[in-house]
Protein backbone atom coordinates (compact mmCIF):
# COMPACT_ATOMS: atom_id res chain seq x y z
CA UNK A 1 0.00 0.00 0.00
CA UNK A 2 1.63 3.23 -1.09
CA UNK A 3 1.43 6.01 1.42
CA UNK A 4 -0.41 8.52 -0.75
CA UNK A 5 -3.52 6.35 -0.75
CA UNK A 6 -6.19 7.23 1.82
CA UNK A 7 -8.91 4.75 0.93
CA UNK A 8 -8.60 1.62 -1.12
CA UNK A 9 -11.30 -0.98 -1.66
CA UNK A 10 -11.12 -4.08 -3.79
CA UNK A 11 -14.00 -6.29 -4.77
CA UNK A 12 -16.31 -5.25 -1.94
CA UNK A 13 -19.35 -7.47 -1.76
CA UNK A 14 -22.18 -7.16 0.75
CA UNK A 15 -25.22 -9.37 0.90
CA UNK A 16 -28.17 -8.77 3.19
CA UNK A 17 -29.88 -12.12 2.94
CA UNK A 18 -31.06 -12.28 -0.66
CA UNK A 19 -30.22 -8.67 -1.37
CA UNK A 20 -26.88 -8.11 -3.08
CA UNK A 21 -26.27 -4.56 -1.92
CA UNK A 22 -22.67 -4.53 -3.20
CA UNK A 23 -21.50 -6.69 -6.04
CA UNK A 24 -17.76 -6.04 -6.26
CA UNK A 25 -16.86 -2.39 -5.67
CA UNK A 26 -13.33 -1.14 -6.39
CA UNK A 27 -12.43 2.31 -5.18
CA UNK A 28 -9.32 4.38 -4.57
CA UNK A 29 -9.08 7.79 -2.92
CA UNK A 30 -5.68 9.47 -2.76
CA UNK A 31 -4.73 11.65 0.18
CA UNK A 32 -6.12 15.17 -0.14
CA UNK A 33 -8.46 14.14 -2.92
CA UNK A 34 -12.25 14.45 -3.04
CA UNK A 35 -13.97 11.50 -4.61
CA UNK A 36 -17.68 11.48 -5.31
CA UNK A 37 -19.60 8.22 -5.14
CA UNK A 38 -22.56 8.97 -7.38
CA UNK A 39 -25.61 6.78 -7.72
CA UNK A 40 -29.39 6.62 -7.39
CA UNK A 41 -31.30 5.49 -4.32
CA UNK A 42 -30.47 1.90 -3.46
CA UNK A 43 -27.24 1.86 -5.50
CA UNK A 44 -25.11 0.84 -2.51
CA UNK A 45 -23.61 4.19 -1.46
CA UNK A 46 -24.45 4.00 2.24
CA UNK A 47 -23.45 0.34 2.42
CA UNK A 48 -20.03 1.22 0.95
CA UNK A 49 -19.54 4.07 3.41
CA UNK A 50 -20.63 1.91 6.34
CA UNK A 51 -18.12 -0.79 5.41
CA UNK A 52 -15.32 1.75 4.98
CA UNK A 53 -16.15 3.32 8.33
CA UNK A 54 -16.17 -0.14 10.04
CA UNK A 55 -19.89 -0.09 10.89
CA UNK A 56 -20.54 -3.12 8.68
CA UNK A 57 -18.41 -6.08 7.68
CA UNK A 58 -18.15 -6.92 3.98
CA UNK A 59 -19.33 -10.34 2.81
CA UNK A 60 -16.24 -10.45 0.60
CA UNK A 61 -13.49 -8.14 -0.59
CA UNK A 62 -10.99 -5.99 1.26
CA UNK A 63 -10.60 -2.35 2.13
CA UNK A 64 -8.02 -0.20 3.83
CA UNK A 65 -8.55 3.28 5.21
CA UNK A 66 -5.51 5.34 6.22
CA UNK A 67 -3.52 2.18 5.59
CA UNK A 68 -5.50 0.11 8.10
CA UNK A 69 -7.64 -2.89 7.25
CA UNK A 70 -11.30 -2.10 7.97
CA UNK A 71 -12.01 -5.60 9.27
CA UNK A 72 -8.76 -6.39 11.10
CA UNK A 73 -7.92 -2.92 12.44
CA UNK A 74 -11.25 -1.16 13.00
CA UNK A 75 -10.06 0.90 15.97
CA UNK A 76 -7.19 2.40 13.98
CA UNK A 77 -9.57 3.17 11.11
CA UNK A 78 -12.04 4.88 13.45
CA UNK A 79 -9.34 7.11 14.87
CA UNK A 80 -8.48 8.37 11.39
CA UNK A 81 -11.97 9.10 10.09
CA UNK A 82 -14.95 11.35 10.52
CA UNK A 83 -18.40 10.30 9.37
CA UNK A 84 -21.47 12.33 8.63
CA UNK A 85 -24.39 10.07 7.91
CA UNK A 86 -27.28 10.51 5.57
CA UNK A 87 -29.52 11.46 8.46
CA UNK A 88 -28.30 14.08 10.90
CA UNK A 89 -27.17 12.38 14.10
CA UNK A 90 -27.45 15.35 16.42
CA UNK A 91 -29.14 15.04 19.80
CA UNK A 92 -32.26 17.19 19.64
CA UNK A 93 -32.29 18.05 23.32
CA UNK A 94 -28.68 19.11 23.63
CA UNK A 95 -27.50 22.51 22.48
CA UNK A 96 -25.12 22.80 19.55
CA UNK A 97 -22.19 23.28 21.88
CA UNK A 98 -23.23 20.31 24.06
CA UNK A 99 -23.52 18.11 20.99
CA UNK A 100 -19.94 18.90 20.07
CA UNK A 101 -18.80 18.25 23.64
CA UNK A 102 -20.53 14.87 23.56
CA UNK A 103 -18.54 13.91 20.45
CA UNK A 104 -15.35 15.05 22.15
CA UNK A 105 -16.18 12.76 25.08
CA UNK A 106 -16.86 9.85 22.74
CA UNK A 107 -13.38 10.29 21.31
CA UNK A 108 -11.87 10.69 24.82
CA UNK A 109 -10.46 14.08 23.93
CA UNK A 110 -9.20 16.49 26.58
CA UNK A 111 -12.04 18.82 27.72
CA UNK A 112 -9.93 21.95 27.20
CA UNK A 113 -9.14 20.93 23.64
CA UNK A 114 -12.80 20.11 22.96
CA UNK A 115 -13.91 23.49 24.28
CA UNK A 116 -11.53 25.36 21.98
CA UNK A 117 -12.19 23.15 18.99
CA UNK A 118 -15.97 23.47 19.47
CA UNK A 119 -15.81 27.25 19.58
CA UNK A 120 -13.73 27.22 16.42
CA UNK A 121 -16.11 24.86 14.59
CA UNK A 122 -19.24 26.72 15.72
CA UNK A 123 -17.75 29.91 14.36
CA UNK A 124 -16.69 28.25 11.15
CA UNK A 125 -20.14 26.73 10.55
CA UNK A 126 -21.91 29.97 11.37
CA UNK A 127 -23.55 28.48 14.46
CA UNK A 128 -22.04 30.66 17.19
CA UNK A 129 -25.25 32.63 17.74
CA UNK A 130 -27.28 29.44 18.03
CA UNK A 131 -24.64 27.48 19.98
CA UNK A 132 -26.49 27.53 23.30
CA UNK A 133 -29.95 26.71 21.96
CA UNK A 134 -31.24 23.11 21.84
CA UNK A 135 -30.67 21.55 18.43
CA UNK A 136 -34.41 20.90 18.06
CA UNK A 137 -34.78 24.62 17.36
CA UNK A 138 -32.34 24.40 14.42
CA UNK A 139 -33.33 24.42 10.75
CA UNK A 140 -32.43 21.45 8.52
CA UNK A 141 -29.39 23.27 7.17
CA UNK A 142 -28.17 24.15 10.67
CA UNK A 143 -28.52 20.52 11.80
CA UNK A 144 -26.46 19.29 8.89
CA UNK A 145 -23.80 21.88 9.65
CA UNK A 146 -23.78 20.83 13.29
CA UNK A 147 -23.58 17.20 12.26
CA UNK A 148 -20.61 17.95 10.03
CA UNK A 149 -18.99 20.00 12.80
CA UNK A 150 -19.43 17.05 15.18
CA UNK A 151 -17.60 14.75 12.79
CA UNK A 152 -14.70 17.24 12.76
CA UNK A 153 -14.20 17.61 16.51
CA UNK A 154 -11.48 14.96 16.48
CA UNK A 155 -9.71 16.48 13.46
CA UNK A 156 -10.05 13.47 11.15
CA UNK A 157 -7.75 13.29 8.15
CA UNK A 158 -10.35 11.37 6.16
CA UNK A 159 -13.99 12.33 6.05
CA UNK A 160 -16.93 10.29 4.79
CA UNK A 161 -19.98 12.34 3.89
CA UNK A 162 -23.08 10.34 3.05
CA UNK A 163 -25.45 12.49 0.99
CA UNK A 164 -24.50 15.64 2.88
CA UNK A 165 -27.00 17.92 1.13
CA UNK A 166 -29.96 15.66 0.40
CA UNK A 167 -33.13 17.35 1.60
CA UNK A 168 -31.55 20.78 2.00
CA UNK A 169 -32.87 23.89 0.32
CA UNK A 170 -30.63 25.36 -2.41
CA UNK A 171 -29.19 28.06 -0.16
CA UNK A 172 -28.19 25.63 2.60
CA UNK A 173 -26.78 23.34 -0.02
CA UNK A 174 -24.54 26.09 -1.38
CA UNK A 175 -23.44 26.91 2.17
CA UNK A 176 -22.49 23.31 2.84
CA UNK A 177 -20.62 23.07 -0.45
CA UNK A 178 -18.56 26.08 0.65
CA UNK A 179 -17.74 24.41 3.96
CA UNK A 180 -16.70 21.18 2.25
CA UNK A 181 -14.53 23.11 -0.19
CA UNK A 182 -12.79 24.79 2.75
CA UNK A 183 -12.13 21.46 4.41
CA UNK A 184 -10.56 20.17 1.26
CA UNK A 185 -8.36 23.27 0.98
CA UNK A 186 -7.10 22.43 4.45
CA UNK A 187 -6.02 19.02 3.21
CA UNK A 188 -8.85 16.77 4.40
CA UNK A 189 -9.47 13.75 2.21
CA UNK A 190 -13.17 13.40 1.41
CA UNK A 191 -15.29 10.58 0.09
CA UNK A 192 -18.78 11.90 -0.43
CA UNK A 193 -21.85 10.16 -1.73
CA UNK A 194 -24.51 11.92 -3.71
CA UNK A 195 -27.44 11.38 -6.01
CA UNK A 196 -26.68 14.60 -7.86
CA UNK A 197 -24.23 14.80 -10.74
CA UNK A 198 -24.21 18.54 -10.16
CA UNK A 199 -22.91 18.06 -6.62
CA UNK A 200 -20.27 15.53 -7.62
CA UNK A 201 -19.28 17.87 -10.42
CA UNK A 202 -18.96 20.84 -8.05
CA UNK A 203 -17.00 19.12 -5.30
CA UNK A 204 -15.22 16.04 -6.58
CA UNK A 205 -12.22 15.71 -8.85
CA UNK A 206 -12.89 12.08 -9.39
CA UNK A 207 -16.33 10.50 -9.66
CA UNK A 208 -17.23 6.85 -9.29
CA UNK A 209 -20.71 6.06 -10.56
CA UNK A 210 -22.37 3.04 -8.98
CA UNK A 211 -25.65 1.30 -9.56
CA UNK A 212 -26.96 -2.04 -8.29
CA UNK A 213 -23.80 -2.43 -6.21
CA UNK A 214 -21.44 -2.16 -9.17
CA UNK A 215 -19.16 0.54 -10.51
CA UNK A 216 -20.61 1.47 -13.88
CA UNK A 217 -18.38 4.44 -14.74
CA UNK A 218 -15.38 6.22 -13.32
CA UNK A 219 -13.50 9.38 -14.20
CA UNK A 220 -13.40 13.15 -13.88
CA UNK A 221 -16.68 14.92 -14.46
CA UNK A 222 -15.46 15.98 -17.91
CA UNK A 223 -14.64 12.41 -18.84
CA UNK A 224 -17.98 11.18 -17.57
CA UNK A 225 -19.92 13.80 -19.46
CA UNK A 226 -18.11 12.73 -22.61
CA UNK A 227 -18.61 9.06 -21.92
CA UNK A 228 -22.08 8.75 -20.54
CA UNK A 229 -23.58 12.22 -20.68
CA UNK A 230 -23.39 12.35 -24.46
CA UNK A 231 -25.74 14.51 -26.45
CA UNK A 232 -29.41 13.84 -26.80
CA UNK A 233 -31.91 14.87 -29.37
CA UNK A 234 -34.99 16.19 -27.69
CA UNK A 235 -38.30 16.83 -29.36
CA UNK A 236 -41.46 18.20 -27.84
CA UNK A 237 -44.66 17.56 -29.74
CA UNK A 238 -47.90 19.51 -29.58
CA UNK A 239 -50.24 16.63 -28.75
CA UNK A 240 -50.11 13.00 -27.81
CA UNK A 241 -51.17 11.91 -31.30
CA UNK A 242 -47.76 12.98 -32.57
CA UNK A 243 -45.73 10.99 -30.05
CA UNK A 244 -45.56 7.72 -31.99
CA UNK A 245 -44.34 9.45 -35.15
CA UNK A 246 -41.71 11.36 -33.19
CA UNK A 247 -40.49 8.18 -31.48
CA UNK A 248 -40.05 6.52 -34.85
CA UNK A 249 -38.30 9.55 -36.34
CA UNK A 250 -35.92 9.74 -33.38
CA UNK A 251 -35.23 6.05 -33.58
CA UNK A 252 -34.04 6.58 -37.13
CA UNK A 253 -31.83 9.52 -36.15
CA UNK A 254 -30.45 7.90 -33.06
CA UNK A 255 -30.46 4.18 -33.69
CA UNK A 256 -31.46 3.78 -30.02
CA UNK A 257 -34.79 3.63 -28.26
CA UNK A 258 -36.34 6.96 -27.45
CA UNK A 259 -37.35 8.01 -23.97
CA UNK A 260 -40.90 9.35 -23.77
CA UNK A 261 -41.92 11.72 -20.99
CA UNK A 262 -45.38 13.09 -21.74
CA UNK A 263 -44.95 15.15 -24.88
CA UNK A 264 -41.17 15.21 -24.68
CA UNK A 265 -39.27 12.55 -26.55
CA UNK A 266 -35.53 12.21 -26.41
CA UNK A 267 -32.85 9.84 -27.60
CA UNK A 268 -29.06 9.69 -27.46
CA UNK A 269 -27.12 10.64 -30.54
CA UNK A 270 -23.95 8.90 -31.49
CA UNK A 271 -22.55 12.06 -33.06
CA UNK A 272 -19.81 12.06 -30.47
CA UNK A 273 -18.89 13.74 -27.23
CA UNK A 274 -19.43 17.40 -26.51
CA UNK A 275 -16.69 19.46 -28.09
CA UNK A 276 -15.86 16.96 -30.78
CA UNK A 277 -16.11 17.95 -34.41
CA UNK A 278 -18.95 15.62 -35.22
CA UNK A 279 -22.16 17.52 -35.72
CA UNK A 280 -24.78 16.83 -33.10
CA UNK A 281 -28.43 17.56 -33.29
CA UNK A 282 -30.36 19.23 -30.55
CA UNK A 283 -33.70 20.82 -31.05
CA UNK A 284 -36.92 21.54 -29.31
CA UNK A 285 -40.00 22.02 -31.41
CA UNK A 286 -42.66 23.47 -29.15
CA UNK A 287 -45.55 23.25 -31.59
CA UNK A 288 -44.81 20.46 -33.96
CA UNK A 289 -41.85 18.36 -34.77
CA UNK A 290 -39.49 20.18 -37.09
CA UNK A 291 -38.08 18.29 -39.99
CA UNK A 292 -34.82 20.21 -39.64
CA UNK A 293 -33.89 18.02 -36.71
CA UNK A 294 -31.79 15.54 -38.60
N1 LIG B 1 -29.65 -3.59 6.62
C2 LIG B 1 -30.14 -3.93 5.42
N3 LIG B 1 -30.90 -5.03 5.26
C4 LIG B 1 -31.37 -5.38 4.05
N5 LIG B 1 -31.13 -4.70 2.91
C6 LIG B 1 -30.40 -3.60 3.00
C7 LIG B 1 -29.86 -3.14 4.25
N8 LIG B 1 -29.14 -2.01 4.02
C9 LIG B 1 -29.25 -1.76 2.70
N10 LIG B 1 -29.99 -2.71 2.08
C11 LIG B 1 -30.29 -2.78 0.64
O12 LIG B 1 -29.08 -2.70 -0.05
C13 LIG B 1 -29.20 -1.91 -1.22
C14 LIG B 1 -28.22 -0.74 -1.15
O15 LIG B 1 -28.64 0.13 -0.13
P16 LIG B 1 -27.85 1.45 0.26
O17 LIG B 1 -26.41 1.13 0.41
O18 LIG B 1 -28.54 2.05 1.43
O19 LIG B 1 -28.06 2.35 -1.05
P20 LIG B 1 -27.92 3.94 -1.24
O21 LIG B 1 -27.24 4.49 -0.02
O22 LIG B 1 -27.11 4.08 -2.49
O23 LIG B 1 -29.32 4.46 -1.40
C24 LIG B 1 -30.65 -1.51 -1.30
O25 LIG B 1 -31.31 -2.45 -2.11
C26 LIG B 1 -31.10 -1.61 0.13
O27 LIG B 1 -32.49 -1.86 0.22
MG1 LIG C 1 -27.83 5.97 1.28
Ligand 1 contact, 194 CB (< 6 A): no
Q: 125: CA distance to ligand 1 center in Å?
A: 31
Q: Which of 85, 117, 86, 89 is nearest to 101 (CA)?
A: 117
Ligand 1 contact, 19 CB (< 6 A): yes
- CATH 3.40.50.300 applies to domain 5-226: yes
From the CA of 167, which ligand is nearest?
2
Q: Where are the domains of the chain?
A: 5-226, 231-289
Residue having the nearest C-alpha atom to atom 1 of ligand 1: 16
CB-side neighbour CA atoms (13 Å) of 117: 22
Residue having the nearest C-alpha atom to atom 13 of ligand 1: 21
Ligand 1 contact, 173 CB (< 6 A): no
What atom of ligand 1 comes closest to residue 195's alpha carbon? 22
Q: 39: CA distance to ligand 2 center in Å?
A: 9
> At 243, phi and psi to the nearest 5?
-65, -45
Quick one: DSSP state of residue 240?
G
Ligand 1 contact, 87 CB (< 6 A): no
pTM: predicted TM-score of the whole model, two decimal places:
0.77
How far is 111 from 160, CA to CA, in rounded Å?
Answer: 25
Q: 177: CA distance to ligand 1 center in Å?
A: 26
Per-residue pLDDT of the chain (294 residues; tens, 9 = 90+): 457 999 999 999 999 999 999 999 999 999 999 999 999 999 999 999 999 999 999 999 999 999 999 999 999 999 999 998 766 678 999 999 999 999 999 888 999 999 999 999 999 889 999 999 999 999 988 998 999 999 999 889 999 999 988 888 888 888 889 889 988 998 999 999 999 988 999 999 999 999 999 999 999 988 887 766 567 777 888 888 888 888 888 888 777 777 787 788 877 776 544 333 333 333 333 333 333 333
How far is 163 from 168, CA to CA, in rounded Å?
Answer: 10
Amino acid sequence: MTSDIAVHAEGLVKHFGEVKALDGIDLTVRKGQVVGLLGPNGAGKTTTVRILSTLLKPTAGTATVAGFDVVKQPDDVRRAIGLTGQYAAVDEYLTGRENLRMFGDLYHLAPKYVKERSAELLEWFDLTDAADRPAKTYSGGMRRRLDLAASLVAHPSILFLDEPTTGLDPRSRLGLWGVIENLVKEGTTVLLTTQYLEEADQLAEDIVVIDHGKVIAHGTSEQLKDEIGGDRVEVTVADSGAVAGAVEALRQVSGADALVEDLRISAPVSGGPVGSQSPTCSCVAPRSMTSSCR
